[in-house]
Structure 1
Amino acid sequence: MRICISVDLCPFSRTFWIMIEIVIGTLLGVLLGTISGLIPGVHVNTLAGTLLGAQVLLLDVLGPLALAGTLFAALITHTFVESVPSTFLGIPDADTSLSVLPAHALCLEGNGEEAVRTAALGSACAMVIAVPLSVLCFLFLPALQPFFDWGIGILIIAVIGYMIVMSESPGWALAIFSVSGLLGAFTLHYAFLGWHTIGGETAVLMPLLTGLFGISVLLVAAQGALPAQHFLGLRVDAKTIAKSSALGTLAGIAVGWLPGLSTATANGALASIIGYEKDRRAYILATSAANTANAFIGLAALFALSRMRNGVMVALAELPLPSMSELAVAGVLAACLAYIVTVGLSRSAGRLNGINGRLLNRAVILFVVGLCIVLTGPFGLVVLILATILGLVPHLANVSRVYCMGAIMVPVILYSFGIAWV
């Protein structure tokens, strides 16, 4: 009789402990993802590398499922929370390089809380759409992968060609795209010259993109006191929410599955469709959705293709992997909690009222320069200076800053065509 009871209880007991491990991993991941998301210029990949370095100890303490859940939950949470520093401080990372522009502009108009809440809503909508789409990609796309691998470079050339031709100043647009592309290829090719204290060779993206889209913007930003922050509700209709979130999710799914692409590439493509200057709120919705969708599709690509699309997936590949469904549950739970956390953090906008913009900008620039030196050393500092100088050109030439995305797109094109420069 005792044996029968034991057998009957085993499935329930196993499921119960699996859920306990998922919840523990999710809560820890939300905490860590919130911390990494709030520190400007620090990507969750840095956190993943740190946790991976201590995996022997952490596996003993947490177990493989809880540790893997922690990593994935931190990645999902980071995609929500990173909108806070990008909005209020104007500092981008590799995933918010273009979306920071309209978000920070709204902050300078006193609508910073609305910008953060809009970004959180886009990420939440992406979670609802991306999870089932990721399952479909996992089931049906691996057979088509050879065709995808071949066509990436051609697709990007077509997109950027259209953007340049439609620009008000095609000559300046082409020049900025080309020079930023050369700078991006140079930076990635010689990334080994950086210190890589905790972020790996991809840490050089931090000074590259921060110079192009962060410091160069802060240097020409308004220098007076920040306006009073007030929240009057989300000024975006349901149709725009649905359309922009779906569009961003599809872009995030595409760049997350296709090789060599990133959310930054999706941001550039979305800029040609929506335009971050024409409709700021729609663009924030779309790019935030793309960022979160990219995280979910990265998990599907890991299990379907054994390809690691970001540092967190590299770290997961080094662990005894649980099932994809278990990690997806952790990701969904993390997204729900991260939305609540991000909305709560957005309410701190009122504390910025009356702060001197010049002093704040200087403090942020000094912080970023110091962080750049710590993460990448003298090489990163040189990249930061060059990127900042180049980032000032669009302002002086009155051209959209989107063409600075050549820093990411050109290396991806070279990678797609098998050119060994990067």
Structure 2
Amino acid sequence: MLGVVAGFFAGVTLGIIAGFVPGIHSNTLAGLLAACSVPLIVVFGIDGISVMIVSMMVVYTFADILPSTFLGVPDPDTVLSVLPAHNLCLMGNGEEAVRVSALGSLWGFVFCLPLFALFMIFLPSVQEYVDWGVGLVILLAAGLLIVFSKAPSWSFAVFLVSGLLGIYAMRFSYFSFGVFGIGEILLPLLTGLFGIPVLLTSMRALSKPAEQTFSGLMISQGSIIGNGIKGAFAGAIVGWLPGFSSGTANALLAVRRSSEKMDPREYLVSTSAANTANAVLGLAALYALGRMRSGAMVTLASFDLPSVYLLVLAAGAAALAGYLVTVSSSKLSRVIMHLDQKIIARGVLLFLVGMTVIFCGPFGVLILILSTLVGLVPGMADIPRIFCMGAIMLPVMLFTLGILNF
């Protein structure tokens, strides 16, 4: 029991670090835990390591909103939340954006629990009948996004070019060899598509961000619950279907007619709920089907799996800890946004380039440059950056349809 408790607190700490530091993902730390598994087993035991991985994964889904909000830096799971969260921060509502996201993640965990039970009961009998339809679902989602955009031709062009870049990056990802071996190619790919364009905009900005204030949430409780349910179901889809990611869930949540204006607070709730639900329901997919949806699940599956009830309990405690830590950290907006944003943007830009060099080597730098060039196009064409998600959606669609292999 002592090893389990110690593993829980160690996992919460690692989740906070992964969430707060741009460019570090919980999957990266999970890989490091796997590499250090022998001494960790001695200290924490098998159950303690398993609890550590799960608590780290859940806390990360709460804390990763902070770089997106305060610095405009993307994360592979919440990449489409960058602009709504960062824009709210620039308008003086950074603390609210973080609190709204934390509430979304918390409700996402609550609403995913009944779905977790359904997964455990029904997935083994129905999975083989739905695997073939994943590519068609992505094709439908992409088509709706493009057709209902205000500039379908530009939207299609960005989706297609970013998709081809994603195929190229994933096909030759074994070239992304850095200091610690083969790195996660999504780091430079998504950083260039979503992060660096935002940072370059910040560096060119002439006006300072608005004074950070917080006088309550500008979103109703009913809207929070409704969008939390919607996000939990989106997270269930990507936690169930092979090849999907939280980023794809966010793209699905963004599908709506162009005449319907997307409320940034509602979108933050739904995407944060999807992110957390996807992480938790990945456990159900592992236990019910033996399928590993993330790097954290791959690491967890390398050990003897403990009771699923223990890990669900650990996930619940981690969700509460992640919520409290994230809400407490939301006040950092009043400090960070008082600093010179151009200097911060330059510093973060150098940090991300350095992370790419360290983890992904020269090939990662090439992908970073190419993806940045593509990522600048939406701003010039005045279309949403969501169409850059073609970098994920197109490769996954072609792979699940059997057209492409990696």
The aligned counterpart of 1:217 is 198
**1:327-381 deviations in Å (ceiling 9; x for gaps):** 1111100111111011111112111243222222111111111111111011111
Q: Does 1:267 align with 2:250?
A: yes
Instruction: Name the amino acid aligned to 1:132.
Output: P
The aligned counterpart of 1:302 is 286
2:3/2:43 contact within 8 Å kept: no
The aligned counterpart of 2:105 is 123
Q: Choose which of 265, 275, 285 in structure 2 pairs with 1:281.
A: 265
Q: Does 1:36 align with 2:18?
A: yes
**Structure 2: tracts of 5 or more residues without a match:** none
Work out the CA distance in 2 between the residues paired with 1:206 and 1:374: 11
Work out the CA distance in 2 between the residues paired with 1:174 and 1:29: 41
TM-score (norm 2): 0.96
Work out the CA distance in 2 between the residues paired with 1:132 and 1:25: 26
Alpha-carbon deviation of 1:252? 0.6
The size of the alignment, in residue pairs, is 403
**Structure 1: tracts of 5 or more residues without a match:** 1-16
Q: CA RMSD in A?
A: 1.5
Secondary structure of residue in 1 paired with 2:79: coil
Instruction: Name the amino acid aligned to 2:15.
Output: G
Work out the CA distance in 1 between the residues paired with 2:221 and 2:305: 39
Bigger Cα Rg: 1
Alpha-carbon deviation of 1:196? 4.5
Of stretches 138-147 and 399-408 in structure 1, the one that deviates more from structure 2 is: 138-147
The aligned counterpart of 1:354 is 338
Instruction: Name the amino acid aligned to 2:110.
Output: V
Secondary structure of residue in 2 paired with 1:182: helix
Work out the CA distance in 2 between the residues paired with 1:277 and 1:215: 26
The aligned counterpart of 2:383 is 399
Alpha-carbon deviation of 1:218? 1.8
Q: Are residues 134 and 327 of structure 1, via their aligned partners in 2, closer, same or farther at CA, if it must alter by over 3 Å?
A: same
Instruction: Please show how residues 11-410 of structure 1 align to structure 2 within 5 Å.
Output: 17=1, 20-198=2-180, 200-201=182-183, 203-221=184-202, 222-273=205-256, 278-410=262-394
Of stretches 277-286 and 401-410 in structure 1, the one that deviates more from structure 2 is: 277-286
Work out the CA distance in 2 between the residues paired with 1:353 and 1:169: 34
Work out the CA distance in 2 between the residues paired with 1:120 and 1:317: 28
Alpha-carbon deviation of 1:266? 0.4
Q: Are residues 244 and 347 of structure 1, via their aligned partners in 2, closer, same or farther at CA, if it must alter by over 3 Å?
A: same
Q: Are residues 168 and 300 of structure 1, via their aligned partners in 2, closer, same or farther at CA, if it must alter by over 3 Å?
A: same
Secondary structure of residue in 2 paired with 1:162: helix
1:226/1:355 contact within 8 Å kept: no
The aligned counterpart of 1:9 is none
**1:103-153 deviations in Å (ceiling 9; x for gaps):** 000011111110000100000001111122112111112211112210001
Work out the CA distance in 2 between the residues paired with 1:199 and 1:292: 29
Work out the CA distance in 1 between the residues paired with 2:87 and 2:321: 27
TM-score (norm 1): 0.93
Of stretches 112-121 and 412-421 in structure 1, the one that deviates more from structure 2 is: 412-421
Alpha-carbon deviation of 1:217? 1.8
The aligned counterpart of 1:12 is none
Secondary structure of residue in 2 paired with 1:99: helix
**1:194-214 deviations in Å (ceiling 9; x for gaps):** 11544855x110110011111
